[in-house]
Amino acid sequence: MSGDRIEVRGIRAWGRHGANLGEQDVAQPLDIDLVFELDLSAARASDKLADTVSYADVHASVVRIVARERFALLERLGEVLLDGLMADPRIARARISIAKPRLLDGATPVVTLRRER
């Protein structure tokens, strides 16, 4: 493993996730940061998008999943998002952090999950 990584920070996605009464009634914002590790040597040499993971595609997938799915726990949402990311066999390790900024009267809970092959 080369130690290369791609980070996509500050994804703002709107979804209906939560365990407390009323949390799934109205879409609320989630702030998501992703870090994934893979060998980027081919992309560095070729300058071709096909030789890397498109962060635009990753962003679109995250926003789509957050909007379409509903879960009580951010932990479950994070697991589903990691499943999608790790479906690309080039990704060796991934980390996702999901923050719910409007939940705790000014405090922001954040769930961070990691996975590796």
Catalytic residues: 100
**Which are the contacts of 101, defined by CB distance < 8 A and separation ≥ 6?**
29, 31, 108
Cβ–Cβ < 8 Å for 99, 59: no
Amino acid present at 81: L
Name the nearest CA neighbour of 32 among 61, 72, 54: 61
Cβ–Cβ < 8 Å for 26, 36: no
